[in-house]
Amino acid sequence: MAAKPKLYYFDGRGRMESVRWLLAAAGVEYEEQLFETAEEFENLIKGGKLMYQRVPMVEIDGMKMVETRAILRYIAAKYNLYGKDLKEQVLIDMYVEGMRDLYDIIMFLPLSFPEEKENLRYILEKATDRFLPVYEKVLKDHGKNYLVGNQLSWADIHLFELILMIEECKSDVLLTFPKLQEFKVRVSKLPRIQKFLQPGSQRKPPMDAAGLEVAKNIFKFSKGMFLKHGTTIIAEL
Protein backbone atom coordinates (compact mmCIF):
# COMPACT_ATOMS: atom_id res chain seq x y z
CA MET A 1 0.00 0.00 0.00
CA ALA A 2 1.42 3.37 -1.02
CA ALA A 3 2.24 5.82 1.74
CA LYS A 4 -0.12 8.73 2.22
CA PRO A 5 1.04 12.10 0.89
CA LYS A 6 2.58 14.18 3.66
CA LEU A 7 2.10 17.96 3.72
CA TYR A 8 4.64 20.27 5.40
CA TYR A 9 3.32 23.67 6.37
CA PHE A 10 2.09 25.77 9.26
CA ASP A 11 -1.39 25.28 10.74
CA GLY A 12 -3.19 27.65 8.42
CA ARG A 13 -4.48 28.05 4.88
CA GLY A 14 -1.84 29.95 2.96
CA ARG A 15 -0.65 28.35 -0.25
CA MET A 16 -1.20 24.82 1.06
CA GLU A 17 -4.99 25.11 1.28
CA SER A 18 -5.45 24.59 -2.46
CA VAL A 19 -3.42 21.39 -2.15
CA ARG A 20 -5.71 20.20 0.65
CA TRP A 21 -8.77 20.98 -1.46
CA LEU A 22 -7.44 19.11 -4.49
CA LEU A 23 -6.48 16.03 -2.49
CA ALA A 24 -9.88 16.07 -0.81
CA ALA A 25 -11.64 16.29 -4.19
CA ALA A 26 -9.57 13.33 -5.38
CA GLY A 27 -10.53 11.34 -2.29
CA VAL A 28 -6.91 11.03 -1.15
CA GLU A 29 -6.11 10.78 2.54
CA TYR A 30 -3.01 12.66 3.63
CA GLU A 31 -0.92 13.46 6.68
CA GLU A 32 0.33 16.86 7.78
CA GLN A 33 3.43 17.99 9.62
CA LEU A 34 2.43 21.41 10.91
CA PHE A 35 5.18 23.50 12.41
CA GLU A 36 4.42 26.11 15.03
CA THR A 37 7.78 27.83 15.50
CA ALA A 38 10.48 29.40 13.37
CA GLU A 39 12.89 26.80 14.78
CA GLU A 40 10.84 23.91 13.37
CA PHE A 41 10.78 25.61 9.97
CA GLU A 42 14.52 26.33 10.10
CA ASN A 43 15.25 22.70 11.03
CA LEU A 44 13.38 21.60 7.92
CA ILE A 45 15.57 23.92 5.86
CA LYS A 46 18.76 22.72 7.57
CA GLY A 47 17.75 19.13 6.86
CA GLY A 48 18.12 19.84 3.16
CA LYS A 49 14.57 18.86 2.27
CA LEU A 50 13.38 22.24 1.03
CA MET A 51 14.38 23.29 -2.45
CA TYR A 52 14.50 27.12 -2.40
CA GLN A 53 14.19 26.94 1.40
CA ARG A 54 10.45 27.56 1.41
CA VAL A 55 7.14 25.79 1.74
CA PRO A 56 4.64 24.35 0.82
CA MET A 57 6.29 20.96 0.48
CA VAL A 58 4.51 17.68 -0.21
CA GLU A 59 6.05 14.25 0.02
CA ILE A 60 4.31 12.06 -2.56
CA ASP A 61 5.33 9.07 -4.65
CA GLY A 62 8.87 9.17 -3.29
CA MET A 63 9.36 12.84 -4.18
CA LYS A 64 9.71 15.94 -2.04
CA MET A 65 7.75 18.42 -4.14
CA VAL A 66 7.84 22.19 -3.73
CA GLU A 67 6.31 25.13 -5.63
CA THR A 68 2.55 25.25 -5.29
CA ARG A 69 1.62 25.12 -8.97
CA ALA A 70 3.93 22.17 -9.62
CA ILE A 71 2.39 20.29 -6.70
CA LEU A 72 -1.16 21.06 -7.81
CA ARG A 73 -0.48 20.18 -11.44
CA TYR A 74 1.02 16.82 -10.44
CA ILE A 75 -1.90 15.95 -8.17
CA ALA A 76 -4.44 17.01 -10.80
CA ALA A 77 -2.76 14.87 -13.46
CA LYS A 78 -2.32 11.89 -11.15
CA TYR A 79 -5.96 11.82 -10.09
CA ASN A 80 -7.63 12.59 -13.45
CA LEU A 81 -8.49 16.20 -12.64
CA TYR A 82 -6.44 17.74 -15.43
CA GLY A 83 -8.51 17.26 -18.59
CA LYS A 84 -8.46 14.59 -21.26
CA ASP A 85 -6.08 16.26 -23.74
CA LEU A 86 -3.66 19.14 -24.20
CA LYS A 87 -6.38 21.63 -25.19
CA GLU A 88 -8.37 20.93 -22.03
CA GLN A 89 -5.21 21.18 -19.95
CA VAL A 90 -4.33 24.60 -21.32
CA LEU A 91 -7.86 25.83 -20.57
CA ILE A 92 -7.55 24.53 -17.02
CA ASP A 93 -4.18 26.29 -16.69
CA MET A 94 -5.62 29.55 -18.04
CA TYR A 95 -8.54 29.53 -15.64
CA VAL A 96 -6.46 28.55 -12.63
CA GLU A 97 -3.76 31.14 -13.34
CA GLY A 98 -6.42 33.84 -13.52
CA MET A 99 -7.92 32.69 -10.25
CA ARG A 100 -4.52 32.74 -8.57
CA ASP A 101 -4.23 36.49 -9.07
CA LEU A 102 -7.37 37.11 -7.00
CA TYR A 103 -6.61 34.23 -4.62
CA ASP A 104 -3.25 35.72 -3.66
CA ILE A 105 -4.74 39.14 -3.01
CA ILE A 106 -7.33 37.65 -0.65
CA MET A 107 -4.70 35.49 1.02
CA PHE A 108 -2.67 38.57 1.95
CA LEU A 109 -5.67 40.53 3.24
CA PRO A 110 -4.99 39.58 6.90
CA LEU A 111 -1.68 41.43 6.57
CA SER A 112 -3.52 44.72 6.16
CA PHE A 113 -3.67 47.23 8.95
CA PRO A 114 -7.22 47.58 10.36
CA GLU A 115 -7.52 51.08 8.94
CA GLU A 116 -6.74 49.89 5.41
CA LYS A 117 -10.40 49.34 4.52
CA GLU A 118 -9.72 50.16 0.88
CA ASN A 119 -7.99 46.77 0.55
CA LEU A 120 -11.29 44.93 1.05
CA ARG A 121 -13.01 47.25 -1.38
CA TYR A 122 -10.23 46.59 -3.88
CA ILE A 123 -10.72 42.82 -3.56
CA LEU A 124 -14.47 43.02 -4.06
CA GLU A 125 -14.07 45.36 -7.01
CA LYS A 126 -11.62 43.01 -8.71
CA ALA A 127 -13.82 40.00 -7.95
CA THR A 128 -17.05 41.46 -9.30
CA ASP A 129 -15.68 43.53 -12.20
CA ARG A 130 -12.86 41.39 -13.56
CA PHE A 131 -12.77 37.78 -12.34
CA LEU A 132 -16.26 36.46 -11.56
CA PRO A 133 -17.71 37.73 -14.88
CA VAL A 134 -15.13 35.61 -16.71
CA TYR A 135 -16.23 32.35 -15.08
CA GLU A 136 -19.91 33.28 -15.31
CA LYS A 137 -19.46 33.68 -19.07
CA VAL A 138 -17.42 30.48 -19.39
CA LEU A 139 -20.17 28.45 -17.70
CA LYS A 140 -22.87 30.11 -19.80
CA ASP A 141 -21.06 29.70 -23.13
CA HIS A 142 -19.81 26.19 -22.38
CA GLY A 143 -23.28 25.00 -21.41
CA LYS A 144 -21.96 22.20 -19.21
CA ASN A 145 -21.84 21.55 -15.49
CA TYR A 146 -18.13 22.26 -15.25
CA LEU A 147 -15.63 24.74 -16.67
CA VAL A 148 -13.77 22.35 -18.98
CA GLY A 149 -15.17 19.33 -20.81
CA ASN A 150 -17.98 17.81 -18.80
CA GLN A 151 -16.19 16.44 -15.78
CA LEU A 152 -14.77 17.85 -12.58
CA SER A 153 -11.29 19.33 -12.93
CA TRP A 154 -8.68 21.20 -10.94
CA ALA A 155 -10.16 24.44 -12.31
CA ASP A 156 -13.57 23.67 -10.80
CA ILE A 157 -12.12 22.84 -7.39
CA HIS A 158 -10.04 26.01 -7.37
CA LEU A 159 -13.00 28.14 -8.44
CA PHE A 160 -15.18 26.64 -5.73
CA GLU A 161 -12.51 27.33 -3.10
CA LEU A 162 -12.12 30.89 -4.40
CA ILE A 163 -15.87 31.54 -4.30
CA LEU A 164 -15.96 30.53 -0.63
CA MET A 165 -13.05 32.86 0.10
CA ILE A 166 -14.74 35.80 -1.63
CA GLU A 167 -17.98 35.07 0.23
CA GLU A 168 -16.06 35.35 3.49
CA CYS A 169 -15.40 38.95 2.41
CA LYS A 170 -18.97 39.58 1.19
CA SER A 171 -21.63 36.91 1.64
CA ASP A 172 -23.87 37.95 -1.27
CA VAL A 173 -21.11 38.43 -3.83
CA LEU A 174 -22.73 35.93 -6.24
CA LEU A 175 -26.05 37.79 -6.28
CA THR A 176 -25.67 38.88 -9.92
CA PHE A 177 -23.96 35.69 -11.11
CA PRO A 178 -26.66 33.01 -11.55
CA LYS A 179 -24.44 30.47 -13.31
CA LEU A 180 -21.87 30.69 -10.54
CA GLN A 181 -24.61 30.26 -7.95
CA GLU A 182 -25.71 27.05 -9.69
CA PHE A 183 -22.09 25.94 -9.98
CA LYS A 184 -21.47 26.48 -6.27
CA VAL A 185 -24.53 24.43 -5.28
CA ARG A 186 -23.61 21.66 -7.73
CA VAL A 187 -20.03 21.29 -6.53
CA SER A 188 -20.97 21.57 -2.85
CA LYS A 189 -23.18 18.48 -3.25
CA LEU A 190 -20.35 16.25 -4.48
CA PRO A 191 -19.76 13.67 -1.70
CA ARG A 192 -16.03 14.31 -1.31
CA ILE A 193 -16.57 18.06 -1.23
CA GLN A 194 -19.40 17.69 1.27
CA LYS A 195 -17.07 15.68 3.49
CA PHE A 196 -14.31 18.30 3.32
CA LEU A 197 -16.79 21.05 4.19
CA GLN A 198 -17.84 19.30 7.39
CA PRO A 199 -16.51 20.41 10.79
CA GLY A 200 -13.56 18.31 11.87
CA SER A 201 -12.08 17.92 8.38
CA GLN A 202 -8.52 19.00 7.54
CA ARG A 203 -9.85 22.17 5.93
CA LYS A 204 -8.39 25.24 7.65
CA PRO A 205 -10.46 28.20 8.89
CA PRO A 206 -9.81 31.83 7.94
CA MET A 207 -6.73 33.22 9.62
CA ASP A 208 -7.48 34.83 12.98
CA ALA A 209 -5.26 37.06 15.10
CA ALA A 210 -3.61 34.13 16.89
CA GLY A 211 -2.89 32.30 13.63
CA LEU A 212 -1.50 35.46 12.07
CA GLU A 213 0.86 35.90 15.02
CA VAL A 214 2.14 32.33 14.61
CA ALA A 215 2.68 32.82 10.88
CA LYS A 216 4.46 36.15 11.46
CA ASN A 217 6.85 34.52 13.90
CA ILE A 218 7.60 31.60 11.58
CA PHE A 219 8.04 33.51 8.34
CA LYS A 220 9.36 36.79 9.77
CA PHE A 221 6.96 39.17 8.11
CA SER A 222 4.88 42.03 9.45
CA LYS A 223 1.50 43.66 8.94
CA GLY A 224 1.05 46.33 6.34
CA MET A 225 2.39 44.05 3.59
CA PHE A 226 -0.86 43.81 1.62
CA LEU A 227 -0.26 44.20 -2.11
CA LYS A 228 -2.55 45.10 -4.97
CA HIS A 229 -0.47 42.99 -7.33
CA GLY A 230 -0.72 39.31 -6.44
CA THR A 231 2.08 38.35 -8.81
CA THR A 232 4.65 40.03 -6.56
CA ILE A 233 6.06 37.72 -3.91
CA ILE A 234 6.16 39.40 -0.53
CA ALA A 235 6.22 36.34 1.69
CA GLU A 236 6.01 32.61 1.29
CA LEU A 237 2.81 32.32 3.29
Residue 44 lies in a domain: yes
Same domain, 148 and 223: no
Residue 137 lies in a domain: yes
Counted domains in the chain: 2
Same domain, 100 and 143: yes
Instruction: Convert the pLDDT of each residue in 158-187 to its tens digit.
Output: 999 999 999 998 999 999 999 999 999 999
Same domain, 93 and 184: yes
Same domain, 13 and 49: yes
Residue 179 lies in a domain: yes
Residue 13 lies in a domain: yes
Question: Could you tell me the residue range of the domain that residue 222 belongs to?
Answer: 6-79+199-227
Same domain, 95 and 45: no
Average pLDDT score over the chain: 88
Same domain, 150 and 222: no
- Rounded to whole angstroms, the Cα distance separating 180 from 198 reads 22
Instruction: Convert the pLDDT of each residue in 13-53 to its tens digit.
Output: 999 999 999 999 999 999 999 998 889 888 888 888 888 88
Whether 116 shows a pLDDT value over 60: the answer reads no
Pick from 8-12, 98-102, 113-117, 177-181: least confident? 113-117
Parallel, antiparallel, or unpaired: how do β-strands 6-10 and 57-60 relate?
antiparallel
Same domain, 94 and 70: no
- Rounded to whole angstroms, the Cα distance separating 104 from 111 reads 12
Whether 232 shows a pLDDT value over 90: the answer reads no
Residue 232 lies in a domain: no
- Rounded to whole angstroms, the Cα distance separating 93 from 218 reads 31
Same domain, 95 and 26: no
52-77: b or e for each residue (b if 16 or more CB lie within 10 Å)?
eebbbbbbbeeeebbebeebbbbbbe
Q: Which CATH number covers residue 174?
A: 1.20.1050.10
Residue 236 lies in a domain: no
Same domain, 173 and 90: yes
Same domain, 181 and 101: yes
pTM listed for this prediction: 0.89
Whether the Cβ atoms of residue 131 and residue 102 lie closer than 8 Å to each other: yes
Same domain, 212 and 161: no
pLDDT of residue 218: 84
Same domain, 108 and 182: yes
Q: Which CATH number covers residue 55?
A: 3.40.30.10
